[in-house]
Structure 1
Amino acid sequence: MTDALSNHSIYLKIVISDDISICNLEKNVQLCTRKKKNLDLLINSNLCAYLQRDRKERKHYTDDWTFGDDEIDGKRSFRLEDKIESDRFPPCFVKEMQGADFNLSYLQRHGFNTPLLFKEKTGLGLRVPSSNFSINDVRMCVGSRRLLDVMDVNTQKNLEMTMKEWQRYYEDPHKEHLLNVISLEFSHTRLENYVETPSLVRQIDWVDCVWPRHLKESQIEATNVLDEMMYPKVQKYCLMSVKGCYTDFHVDFGGTSVWYHILKGSKFLISGITLYAARHARLAFGRMPSNRGRGGGRGKGRKDGDGMSAKDGMRRRRTRCKKCEACNRKDCGECSFCHDMVKFGGPGRAKQTCVMRQCLQPMLPVTAGCLMCKLDGWYQQILIPIQKTSRMDSPSSLMECSICYEIVHPDCVQKICPDSEGIINEDLPNSWECPKCCKDGKNVEYKPRHFRARQKSTDIRRMSVGSDTSSMMDTKERIKSESMEETS
């Protein structure tokens, strides 16, 4: 997902994990790219489950880990603005809300299943510095000698600088390197008086709700030295970047809730590959751009002229049909995915469905919308949150092209290509080779997708039947031999 933020906008990202423990946290890794304009100052009110770390000494940065590796070039082969302004991202799945309506009661009733848009921060209980707050004000609040962890954007290497040295670099018009500060925790400093997290954040914060209050109140040290830390001091961060800075990836723990507020400049967020993610990652974005949508998934695909995969447009994950034999089957307990499951004694790393339970007829989600008319599969406006209606009992009229992966109504695409017809895929619901791809001849050398569920489930069923038959024969032979011994 690509998100462009401007001044005085709020970016809310809350990741709620269904299985969270303090000592065993899943990591949610998302690709993030940050492009700054002029003076940027990002106030990050971060809620994070506490992860005990054994770090009693100061950080020592060396280049040993990069021995033998080439330095990262840090150059893009495409213009980020072109991707933001692309018409492949239709605005059809964002719910607009008022700050006063977003509270704990709303989360309990509706959960966090859809992105939420807040055009005004009124009612959220959020307090941030004014727009004329500068880098010098940050230095005055946290101190000139405060040590900062600074990252070189082009090489992704870390170094340490004092706040005074950082200000000198920040205000220098001639910069030799692109440096980025993403980890200045400013709790128990004067900067804390200028920032207040939203009311909902304070209500669900583990530090405020669970951690012993007297330990937090006894905290004196403003830095993050673990020996002097009385509580998980990870609630308020200040991020400072110069123009052109970006981050290759960003890591949040399962159970983490993060509110971003852009004080100055702008920020672009591109959601890409998600690794080690919680079972249900719920994201909410503030101030979406006029063209927005979901990014593509992993896998090989065609490349367009500027290096972006052709699947990066309207790509949507299919859902279970809940009707086929595989959907109604129990876990086999024999495949590699079952062996990885915690309930079968595995580590639970893969988080994949049992091979025998992989749906044979995966459906398009009800939130899917036509790329052209922006309507759902029943020619209705997409409502957020999704409500079950009688019209959903009938099949969706949307079709997903197996070549370009565009989701459209057949009637809509016929207006563009009236002289061409699509080829329906009879093995997969709502799937075809669209008229545009057929007209351009892209389906000539195209190889259809083979769902591993069909292949593996068939093979495993064959193996299961074979193993059951052989075990049955062995049982019969054993019973026969025992009966002969008793007779003799």
Structure 2
Amino acid sequence: MSTAVETGSSPAKSNSNNNSSGGNNSGNNNNGNGNLSPNAKGVQRRQLRERKQRKLYLEEWSLGDEDGEGTRGFSVAEKLESSKFAQAGMVREMRGCDLTVAFLQQHGFNIPLLFRDKAGLGLRMPDPQEFTVNDVRLCVGSRRLLDVMDVNTQKNLQMTMKEWQQYYDSPQKDRLLNVISLEFSHTRLDRFVQSPEIVRQIDWVDVVWPKQLKDAQREGTNLLGGMMYPKVQKYCLMSVKNCYTDFHIDFGGTSVWYHILRGSKVFWLIPPTDRNLQLYEKWVLSGKQADIFFGDTVEKCARVYLTAGNTFFIPTGWIHAVYTPTQSLVFGGNFLHSFGIVKQLKTASVEDSTKVPQKFRYPFFTEMLWYVLARYVHTLLGHSHLEGEASLSEDEMAARPHTHLTHHELFGLKEIVMYLYDLPPQKKNVPSLVLDPVALIKDVRSLVERHCKDQQDLAITGVSVLKSPPGSQPPFLLYDRTRVKQEIKQEIARKNAEVIREQQQLEAGRAREAESDTSQSTGVGSAIGMGAGVEYSNGVMKKEQLENGSGVSVGGHGSQPEATFALPTDTLKYRPPKKMHLATALVAAAASSSSGGGGPVAGVGGSAVVGSSHSPTGGGVGPVTGGAISVIATSSSYIEGGQVGGILNVDNCHSPEGGGAKLSPNLTGTGQPRRRRTRCKNCAACQRSDCGTCPFCMDMVKFGGPGRAKQTCMMRQCLSPMLPVTAQCVYCHLDGWRQTPVSPQTKQLASADGPSALMECSVCYEIAHPDCALSQLDGTEDAADAKGIVNEDLPNSWECPSCCRSGKNYDYNVRW
């Protein structure tokens, strides 16, 4: 370790010289014992000692947090050459034809299996001589977002598939990046890769998960919001030379199949003994993964070399690290099965102890356990506990021979019941398809009692107890790059044709609507004076009314200024306009009336504003002079509980193409500040503690961070945020319990009085009582059919009747 010697004179020496030059003054302040005595004013003087040696500073002391990241305390090259890891007997080499269900029933799946050739495995792959990363991009799409791992920091970042392909093929790489989590099921690549036959026979996703849910999957990415089943069956791993992934256990205790299409890999394998799992938890929680090579802390750690064409199976719970000697392209998949249930559950407990984020866990792990119990009960007892599944008759079950279970399955079912029993209520995650979980558990206990004396030799039948339904596997196709490109062009042409057809339908409907409106048009001036007769489209006056001479005459005056209209340019993705706050309109109106004495009501930007047909006053406004007229349909003219005499509700609606501001997520549809939701304090996220590992926790002062972000832990973000008790209806100004809202200083929990009756619109963000919102539509044509759409994902959230009536709820994102 190199050091840097401090240069220049030492401040301690200079102080010492000054003190010595002081002579008598220093001596007078020193008593006989060598201690400093107080001076005349009672202040004790401090004397600095003389430093005998120059202080040496390490270069690493001057490194910042970012500079220190990625510095590994061990050499991977040394671990590749070390004889300690050249152990034999930890991996079994087999032929593909020998890996059958009977083999697993007899021996279980406890040690890694290596197949030098994929023959006999039922594994089908693209041609390794022709298939490249560019073909992966063609099949999954250039815009597919990838989670890319920075090898030096072992942290994730995001890149598009196109950016990754350019990096992968670039000869010059400024840093080492690795892709190990590209799941490609339900993409074009899914048809050209077929998993091993043994995996398709025992994978719980194929034999247990309801087929109707898996068939409902449409999203090709791994976003949990659109995931209908555990989408972990097919992965593509793309690594450049010298990539290294530190020791880890595959999520949820899944087993892994791993085929090297191109390149090579080196594995370090550690068996999942109780001692090794304890050491692994300690190593992960210590935060010293970059300093300690975990293989050095255990008794047995084996190194295995894999080359192109090899297939590797890793059992449940095995701790392993991976190194990439040459640029590689690998296909693999994760699967849960019935021959390692106990270790799968133990691995899930380890994930809880090491605080693994939900993003890196097996999706729907607890739900899968419920489906496993239901499938075993239906297969062995004939009782159905799933919605839409019929039970088998007693005669049919009596005609079947007794099925013997292996000890892996029998003990595994017991462990599942105990695991689910120990979970807190909010984490049991009973699927909605399970009709009665209590009855299901009782049937599982009856099943275990009936099979507790099963004979192990009779359980080796070569046929899995749980069988996948027919047609559950997609057909395999040979990869043809030319055909894939043609399919992409055809799909693009089809989507373009759909967009053109939708636009033509919208234009035709708009033309028919315009024809019917032209015959019913009676003039805008009379509409304003009479309070009726004006037709609006999306809150904007029809363009045809203005073109056909339906002039705007306010207060009976003949002046007819040029009117402006606002039509959404993108009708397929219409965004509601940002409305003007009523208080702003009042200020503008008051200023105009005081200066002009009964003149026009001034709007924003010099536009005169006219009232709506729903105004209770029904009176006209003064003459309109100059500027443009913005005619907006509004529903109320009440401000803070009182009417605005003679001044009607005001909106400043800008056309999307005219530079109008989009609706801010911090403002309601009327421009008022949006209420920020509060914690429910009941969900699993609210009740857990800070994880200490996410970016927000690392920023917290208690974890050694600067405390600038001031954000809650990512694992503690509330799943059901509630409206605050201070929220009030925009119409009646009462809170959710029909009482006067309390001030923030004295707000109290109102849970004793039941939940709040207020609803927040997820489109315009207005907070109102449902009956108050519906009352605003009284007198309209659609009043009888008007209704709101409740959002089941968020408490007190809906799409209000006004937004549903105007069609603004077609394109929006729920904001929590």
Same fold (TM over 0.5): no
* Larger helix fraction of residues: 2
Greater Rg over alpha carbons, structure:
2
Higher relative contact order (CA 8 A, sep 6+): 1
TM-score (norm 2): 0.26
